[in-house]
Every structure is written in C-alpha cells, then in structure tokens.
Amino acid sequence: MKYCSDCAAPLRVEVPAGDNMPRKVCSSCGAIHYRNPRVIVGAICEYEGQLLLCRRDIEPRRGFWTFPAGFLEVGETTAEGAARETFEESGAKVEIEDLCAIINVPYIAQVYMSYRARMTNPHHHITPESSETCLIAPEDIPWDYLAFPTIWHSLKFWMADRAAGTRSFHTLDLTTRPREPIARERSADVADE
C-alpha cells in the first residue's frame, strides 16, 4: 500500500504517537493504516461417519485437497462464515457444531478457526472453487495431498478426538513457513504422530 485509502495522498512509515510499531501513516490526513491478521474459517464436515473434502480449483495449491474454508466476511460470525464457505465450496448445507481448533499462522498474518459440522444431507457438488467434492472414510484421508498445514493439523486434531471419543479444543502456533511441497513433507509426519 503506497497511498491513503481515505484521501489518496502518499503514505510514510513511522511509529505513531502512543504506538510501539511502525505503521503506514498518511502524509496528508494523518490516517493510520494498520495491517492486521485475516481470519480464516472452515468446517470439518461429517455425514454418517464420512468426511467432506474438496479438491481446490483455485490457487494457491490448486488440485490439492481441503475441507471447506476461507476468509471471514464483515458482518458474520465465525460459525456463519464456516457454514457459508462450506456451501460456496461444496454446495453442502451444514449445522455448525463446536470449535475444534484455532491455529495461528503469523508468517502469513492469518488466524485459522476450524469447526466441527454435520451435513444436513449427503448432497455436495463441484463449484467454481472446487473441481471435485467427495465424502470419504476418515482412514482414507489423502494426507500426502492436503493443501495446507492448517488443514493437515486440524484433521489430525479431529482424528485424535475421534479415536479418544472426546471433543477437545486445540490450539497451535505455526511460526515457520514450510518448504514446498507441503504434501511430501507431511507424509513423514503422519507416522510420527
């Protein structure tokens, strides 16, 4: 960002009075432009013991698998956002249950929230964001082909809870960027956990 979104004047970087971090400040109107983390919401959707997965048809990580997730919109709760993203990416209608995990990803300025959800019926279909959707048994999750570390860890948390017969709340800080490709690195981790 080089210009003020309020008045279009050039921005400068400085530490505003009363602040402790450099910010972009308008050279004309003085507006402070903060860069804050984005919230990503998703749903681990289940129908009769199977999980809903979507093959991404958009970048980044086009062709890799994920559960439905995306950016939270202004004016919606995190649960509403997870349900909306599920419908947008798979056509599935869900009832959001409880929060499974919050994963902080500071290296890309994101906070990721994954919910447990129940599909209200088995219907799902491809969308502009997903080239394929499917219901699969948990033991058939394509671990080597999951799109992002947040998806991998969220599903691992969900699987551990399922095995233990519990519904725990999990947190994780992913503080270092993984080397590409993500999928190949994760396959070795599956055996370790």
pLDDT of residue 108: 94
pTM: 0.86
Q: What radius of gyration do the chain's Cα atoms show?
A: 19
Mean pLDDT, residues 72-96 taken together: 98
Question: Residue 91 phi/psi, 5° resolution?
Answer: 75, 5
CA–CA separation, 138 vs 135, rounded Å? 9
pLDDT digits (tens, 9 = 90+) for 109-135: 999 999 999 999 999 999 999 999 999
pLDDT of residue 145: 97
pLDDT digits (tens, 9 = 90+) for 16-67: 999 999 999 999 999 999 999 999 999 999 999 999 999 999 999 999 999 9
CA–CA separation, 35 vs 20, rounded Å? 14
pLDDT digits (tens, 9 = 90+) for 130-169: 999 999 999 999 999 999 999 999 999 999 999 999 999 9
What are the structural domains of the chain?
A: 1-35 (2.20.70.10), 38-192 (3.90.79.10)
pLDDT band for position 179 (cuts 50, 70, 90): confident
Least confident span in 32-36, 48-52, 170-174, 179-183: 179-183
Parallel, antiparallel or unpaired: strands 110-119 and 38-47 = parallel
Parallel, antiparallel or unpaired: strands 94-105 and 170-173 = parallel
Closest CA to 101 of 33, 52, 171: 171
pLDDT of residue 181: 52
pLDDT of residue 180: 60
Q: Distance of alpha carbon 147 from its chain centroid, rounded?
A: 10
pLDDT of residue 93: 98
Does position 191 have pLDDT exceeding 50, yes or no? no
